[in-house]
A and B are shown apart, each in its own frame.
Chain A
Amino acid sequence: MTTAQLSVEDMFVPGFDESSLPSDGSEPALLREKRAAAFAKYSELPMPTVRDEEWRRTDPEMFPFDEFTPAPALAPISVAPESGPWDNEFDVVVTVTDEGFHINDAANMLAEKKLVVQSLADAAVNYPEMLKRYMQGEARVKQPRKFTTLVDAFWNFGLFIYVPAKTIITRGVLIRYTHKTPGRVVIPYLVAVADELSELTIAEQYESPDLVELLALSAREFYAKQGAILRAASLQEWGGKTYHIGEDWVRAERDARVDWVSFLLGGQLSKMMVSCDVAAPNSNAYLSGLFFADKEQHIDQCSLQLHSSANTYSNLLYKGAVKDKGHSIYQGVIDAVPHAVKVDAYQMNNNLILNEGARADSLPGLEIDADDLKCSHGATCGNLDPNHLFYLRSRGLPEAEARQLLVMAFFEEVIARVPHEFMRERVRENVRHKVGVAV
């Protein structure tokens, strides 16, 4: 399809056309070029519709773009914003608010050059070669989707994290997003690279007040170079009126290990995608997801485990619960390319449906083009096991408590995959709250 055939409505998401491209002439040329290239792609791609397989269960029109306006580009603020309860657990804390962003280097890691955490604008000046390589780099194994090209062209906050070779960062980086201004579209973009034999931990937290209408579009790219260990955990606790479309890309090289965890608890409507490429022999990827849709929440997630090399391992575990009128969708694919032999890939999706009226859809998939490998997937949907409930109740636990305990037990397998105890505790608390005592 050529651009000429697309009408303006088909081409552009409301609020995102040429006139809204950041026109700040002070932005480094590299970023302007990247934005222009992304914008060209963005204009070429047709708007997804509910007739596209990927959007069949989440109509793109459910995202009310015309009610929102793009948030302005964020600039650094000098005054440190309110600190969070976990700030002391990390080496570097990045706070992102409606006013701007702030990078707190409490442990002097940045000053000592053990770690780079910079806005993309700064990094484009200091590390242009790296940005050229990693921004929309080889982790993007597939043609990006319409909304991802939008992020590439219009991001209003960009962050670059880099750990040099052979550097172990144990406590890592915390990024806190807190947005309170209603009616905005916020567009964060993250590029994180763990160089050879290094170790990096990144935690992200998204928050907005419950009644604030907000739209978030995000893109993240993670690179684990040879022998690196990269842990990334995100905790999405948007308020009940926030919409989110996000796409993640992960690439693990030889002997690298990636631990990617997503806790999806808040927001009204989320459409999240993750693609993980185990791209060289002996690379490992663990992808974990926890999601809980209650009230009228709608959570749609899809994952791709791409085995583009022989001798690779990937393990995906997505556990979710739906309650009230919540609706969750999980769509997963394992793709082993021709000659990707000795591959071991696993994909598991378990769903708890806690009451009538809630709904869970599961679409696990395999696409295998090589012969000497082992790929399997599993999916289950159901309510709590009545035998388990009976057992707990026969020990004197009230039903509500027994139910809560069983839901917690169900999720613990995923919760345990995140390295930070405080984050685990936070997720447990959140889940407990969602299950409620008066069931």
Chain B
Amino acid sequence: MSNTETMYKLETDSKLVQEYKYGFVTEVETDELPKGLNEDIIRAISAKKGEPDWMTEWRLKAFRRWQTMREPHWAKVDYPPVDYQDIRYYSAPKSAGTGGDGHGVDPELAKTFEKLGIPLNERDRLSGVAVDVVFDSVSVATTHREKLAKQGIVFCSMSEAIRTHGDLVRKYLGSVVPPGDNFYAALNSAVFSDGSFCFIPKGVRCPVDLSTYFRINAADSGQFERTLIVAEEGAYVSYIEGCTAPQRDNNQLHAAVVELIALDDAQIKYSTVQNWYAGDANGVGGIYNFVTKRGHCRGPRSRISWTQAEVGAAITWKYPSVILEGADSVGEFYSVAFTNKKMQADTGTKMIHIGPNTKSTIISKGISAEESVNSYRGMVQVLPTALNARNHTCCDSMLIGDKCFANTYPVIEVETSTAITEHEATTAKISEEQLFYVRSRGIDEESATSMIVNGFCKDVFKELPLEFSVEAIKLLELKLEHSVG
């Protein structure tokens, strides 16, 4: 079945037609630390996770660094100051069964994830996808472990990896995004709760898509995801991430750090469908999504590709980047950022060409509706060593309504004469001619708009794995529903 057919099949399912269907709260007993942030809290987080001393020290060092840093304000987003002492930095469901294989999970939790469409029991699983689920601060289950372990693949929660694969974590953690990289990365390094750790050994092609589902449930808590993916020589992995949060009137913070490392000939494909709660029509509530994601093509001929569908979160501050160090390495960034209501998104990418013959492609599609602000901010840097580097950038924005903003801030720095960079960007409203054409075929305006928007995003959606592609299309449709007309 093609994506489009699936899409229309799903559309008939009336249950889907809701404002934000993931906005429910799960009543579970939680194990929480008090609000606020100091060295004791960090020690307590570390102790709760049973971490070795080096990890505790690492966190404390990051925390001390963070205290000397200032919150950045250059992004085109506007929000009241965040009180970092009013956030709960650790909250875990008491009966999580941390890091298990999906059996013995609290039935309440299992129900939550079933509602979200994430089956934990392997017999119900989406075939071909191994799932790690993070509920507030801890990972509750990781499926498919045995099958993966046979090939030497490590796929577990970060907390578990620190305990069981300490050397690997120590070797790679913070090597792409150092703790002092930026304000939010430093904060994350100090208090990170959980996330996934994937290690694909030399020459192994990961047989299934690895996936993590993030869920913020507890009120007033922040989620500090930390994910690390390492693909050794010649390895391949496709990783998928999804996120949701309950509908609440106060703002919650999600400050994540994701690091990808690709050695010689390795390939990492990282896909995200981000659907955090975005706040209501008046801009009340929603998640602050301040994320640092960076990949490092360390070896020659390695390849890292980011694909993201950003449809949620009140404020997004996110620039998945690739450092192209290995010769002939390839970096890709495909993004759809949709904003409506009073959402503000400042997102884009950085491609840093260091090695010779490195190539990068950036395709960014921004759609802004209602009273939202949608900015693309990108940087292509070609250093003198990056002989024959090649970059192609295309960012298109579509405006729906006359109260929304679309901004594009690209930076291109070229320091070698052998490089070729191209950048193009357009901003336009949804084409009246296209609308007329579709409507003259008897399709109502809302469906017509939705079809055109989906066509606009096709270049990006086709890069997503099929199930995700369908989900992303469906989400966009839902979001568009009240934006048209």
User: Cβ of A377 < 8 Å from any Cβ of B?
Assistant: yes
- CB contacts under 8 Å to A, within B361-404, are 382, 384, 397, 399-404
Q: Which residues of B contact A373 (CB under 8 A)?
A: 427-429
User: Cβ of B416 < 8 Å from any Cβ of A?
Assistant: yes
- Residue of A354, A365, A378, A379 near B407 (CB, 8 A) is A365
Q: Which residues of B contact A372 (CB under 8 A)?
A: 402, 429
User: Cβ of A363 < 8 Å from any Cβ of B?
Assistant: yes
Q: Which residues of B contact A341 (CB under 8 A)?
A: 402
Are A366 and B414 closer than 8 Å at their CB atoms?
Answer: no
User: Cβ of B408 < 8 Å from any Cβ of A?
Assistant: yes
- CB contacts under 8 Å to B, within A351-382, are 351, 353-382
Query: Could you tell me the distance between the alpha carbons of A382 and B419 in the complex, rounded to whole angstroms?
Result: 5
Are A363 and B426 closer than 8 Å at their CB atoms?
Answer: no
User: Cβ of B423 < 8 Å from any Cβ of A?
Assistant: yes
From residue A350, how far is it (CB to closest CB) to chain B in Å? 10
Query: Could you tell me the distance between the alpha carbons of A164 and B255 in the complex, rounded to whole angstroms?
Result: 62
Q: Which residues of A contact B382 (CB under 8 A)?
A: 381
Q: Which residues of A contact B121 (CB under 8 A)?
A: none
Q: Which residue of B lies closest to A57 (CB)?
A: B413
Are A382 and B425 closer than 8 Å at their CB atoms?
Answer: no
Are B412 and A362 closer than 8 Å at their CB atoms?
Answer: yes
Q: Which residues of A contact B401 (CB under 8 A)?
A: 371
- Residue of A363, A365, A369, A383 near B418 (CB, 8 A) is A383
Query: Could you tell me the distance between the alpha carbons of A375 and B382 in the complex, rounded to whole angstroms?
Result: 27
Q: Which residue of B lies closest to A369 (CB)?
A: B405
Are A359 and B423 closer than 8 Å at their CB atoms?
Answer: no
Query: Could you tell me the distance between the alpha carbons of A351 and B382 in the complex, rounded to whole angstroms?
Result: 14
Q: Which residues of A contact B411 (CB under 8 A)?
A: 361-363
User: If the complex has contacts A374-B428, A379-B410, are A362 and B423 also in contact, measured as CB distance less than 8 A?
Assistant: yes
From residue B71, how far is it (CB to closest CB) to chain A in Å? 16
Are B417 and A380 closer than 8 Å at their CB atoms?
Answer: no
Are B397 and A368 closer than 8 Å at their CB atoms?
Answer: yes
- Residue of B415, B418, B422 near A380 (CB, 8 A) is B422
Q: Which residues of A contact B424 (CB under 8 A)?
A: 376-379
User: If the complex has contacts A339-B402, A355-B417, A382-B421, are A361 and B427 also in contact, measured as CB distance less than 8 A?
Assistant: no
Q: Which residue of A lies closest to B407 (CB)?
A: A367
From residue A342, how far is it (CB to closest CB) to chain B in Å? 10
| Proximity string of chain A (364-405) to chain B, C-beta cutoff 8 Å, 1 when within and 0 when not | 111111111111111111110000000000000000000000
Are B423 and A371 closer than 8 Å at their CB atoms?
Answer: no
Are A361 and B409 closer than 8 Å at their CB atoms?
Answer: no
User: Cβ of B420 < 8 Å from any Cβ of A?
Assistant: yes
Q: Which residue of B lies closest to A335 (CB)?
A: B407
User: Cβ of B260 < 8 Å from any Cβ of A?
Assistant: no
- Residue of B413, B414, B417, B426 near A376 (CB, 8 A) is B426
Query: Could you tell me the distance between the alpha carbons of A353 and B400 in the complex, rounded to whole angstroms?
Result: 39
User: Cβ of A436 < 8 Å from any Cβ of B?
Assistant: no
Are A380 and B426 closer than 8 Å at their CB atoms?
Answer: no
Are B402 and A370 closer than 8 Å at their CB atoms?
Answer: yes
From residue A439, how far is it (CB to closest CB) to chain B in Å? 12
From residue B485, how far is it (CB to closest CB) to chain A in Å? 14
User: Cβ of A338 < 8 Å from any Cβ of B?
Assistant: yes
Query: Could you tell me the distance between the alpha carbons of A358 and B400 in the complex, rounded to whole angstroms?
Result: 42
Q: Which residue of A lies closest to B395 (CB)?
A: A366
Counting contact residues on chain B (CB < 8 A from A), the size range is: 35 or more
Q: Which residues of A contact B402 (CB under 8 A)?
A: 338-339, 341, 370-372
Q: Which residues of B contact A375 (CB under 8 A)?
A: 426-428
Q: Which residues of A contact B414 (CB under 8 A)?
A: 351, 353, 359-362, 381-382
Q: Which residues of A contact B384 (CB under 8 A)?
A: 356-357
User: Cβ of B406 < 8 Å from any Cβ of A?
Assistant: yes
| Proximity string of chain A (250-274) to chain B, C-beta cutoff 8 Å, 1 when within and 0 when not | 0000000000000000000000000
Q: Which residues of A contact B406 (CB under 8 A)?
A: 366, 368
- Residue of A338, A360, A365, A380 near B409 (CB, 8 A) is A365
| Proximity string of chain A (197-219) to chain B, C-beta cutoff 8 Å, 1 when within and 0 when not | 00000000000000000000000
| Proximity string of chain B (204-244) to chain A, C-beta cutoff 8 Å, 1 when within and 0 when not | 00000000000000000000000000000000000000000
Q: Which residue of B lies closest to A383 (CB)?
A: B417
Q: Which residues of B contact A358 (CB under 8 A)?
A: 417
Query: Could you tell me the distance between the alpha carbons of A280 and B413 in the complex, rounded to whole angstroms?
Result: 36
User: If the complex has contacts A353-B417, A380-B421, A381-B420, are A368 and B412 also in contact, measured as CB distance less than 8 A?
Assistant: no
From residue A44, how far is it (CB to closest CB) to chain B in Å? 22
Q: Which residue of B lies closest to A350 (CB)?
A: B422
Query: Could you tell me the distance between the alpha carbons of A364 and B74 in the complex, rounded to whole angstroms?
Result: 17
Q: Which residues of A contact B416 (CB under 8 A)?
A: 353, 356
User: If the complex has contacts A378-B425, A380-B422, are A368 and B399 also in contact, measured as CB distance less than 8 A?
Assistant: yes
Query: Could you tell me the distance between the alpha carbons of A379 and B382 in the complex, rounded to whole angstroms?
Result: 15
Q: Which residue of A lies closest to B74 (CB)?
A: A53
Are A366 and B427 closer than 8 Å at their CB atoms?
Answer: yes
Q: Which residue of A lies closest to B413 (CB)?
A: A361
Are A368 and B427 closer than 8 Å at their CB atoms?
Answer: yes
From residue B408, how far is it (CB to closest CB) to chain A in Å? 4
From residue B456, how far is it (CB to closest CB) to chain A in Å? 15
From residue A192, how far is it (CB to closest CB) to chain B in Å? 32
From residue B393, how far is it (CB to closest CB) to chain A in Å? 8
Query: Could you tell me the distance between the alpha carbons of A356 and B416 in the complex, rounded to whole angstroms?
Result: 5
Q: Which residues of A contact B417 (CB under 8 A)?
A: 353-356, 358, 382-383
- Residue of A53, A359, A369, A379 near B415 (CB, 8 A) is A359
Q: Which residues of B contact A382 (CB under 8 A)?
A: 414, 417, 419-421
Query: Could you tell me the distance between the alpha carbons of A357 and B383 in the complex, rounded to whole angstroms?
Result: 10
User: If the complex has contacts A371-B429, A376-B425, are A366 and B412 also in contact, measured as CB distance less than 8 A?
Assistant: no
Q: Which residues of A contact B405 (CB under 8 A)?
A: 367-369
- CB contacts under 8 Å to A, within B405-462, are 405-429
Query: Could you tell me the distance between the alpha carbons of A91 and B272 in the complex, rounded to whole angstroms?
Result: 66
Query: Could you tell me the distance between the alpha carbons of A364 and B379 in the complex, rounded to whole angstroms?
Result: 11
Query: Could you tell me the distance between the alpha carbons of A359 and B421 in the complex, rounded to whole angstroms?
Result: 13
Q: Which residues of B contact A376 (CB under 8 A)?
A: 424-428
Are B410 and A364 closer than 8 Å at their CB atoms?
Answer: yes
- CB contacts under 8 Å to A, within B51-74, are 74
With most chain A CB atoms within 10 A of its CB, the pick from B74, B397, B403, B407 is B407
Q: Which residue of B lies closest to A341 (CB)?
A: B402
User: If the complex has contacts A377-B424, A378-B425, A382-B421, are A371 and B409 also in contact, measured as CB distance less than 8 A?
Assistant: no
Q: Which residues of A contact B422 (CB under 8 A)?
A: 378-380
User: If the complex has contacts A358-B417, A364-B423, A368-B399, are A377 and B408 also in contact, measured as CB distance less than 8 A?
Assistant: yes
Are B410 and A381 closer than 8 Å at their CB atoms?
Answer: no
From residue B403, how far is it (CB to closest CB) to chain A in Å? 7
Q: Which residues of A contact B421 (CB under 8 A)?
A: 379-382
Query: Could you tell me the distance between the alpha carbons of A14 and B315 in the complex, rounded to whole angstroms?
Result: 44
Are A363 and B427 closer than 8 Å at their CB atoms?
Answer: no
Are B407 and A368 closer than 8 Å at their CB atoms?
Answer: yes
- Residue of B74, B397, B404, B412 near A361 (CB, 8 A) is B412
Q: Which residues of A contact B403 (CB under 8 A)?
A: 338
Q: Which residues of A contact B419 (CB under 8 A)?
A: 353, 381-382
From residue A386, how far is it (CB to closest CB) to chain B in Å? 10
Query: Could you tell me the distance between the alpha carbons of A165 and B382 in the complex, rounded to whole angstroms?
Result: 52
Q: Which residues of B contact A359 (CB under 8 A)?
A: 413-415
Q: Which residues of B contact A364 (CB under 8 A)?
A: 408, 410, 423, 425
Query: Could you tell me the distance between the alpha carbons of A366 and B406 in the complex, rounded to whole angstroms?
Result: 8
| Top 5 closest pairs, chain A to chain B, by CB | A382-B420, A376-B426, A371-B399, A366-B408, A353-B417
Besides A366-B427, A368-B399, A371-B399, 17 other CB < 8 A contacts?
Answer: A338-B402, A338-B403, A363-B409, A366-B397, A371-B401, A371-B429, A375-B427, A376-B425, A378-B422, A379-B422, A379-B423, A380-B420, A380-B421, A380-B423, A381-B419, A382-B414, A383-B418
A-B contacts, 15 of them at CB < 8 A, read: A359-B413, A364-B423, A366-B425, A368-B427, A369-B404, A370-B399, A371-B402, A371-B429, A375-B428, A376-B427, A377-B424, A379-B412, A379-B423, A379-B424, A380-B420
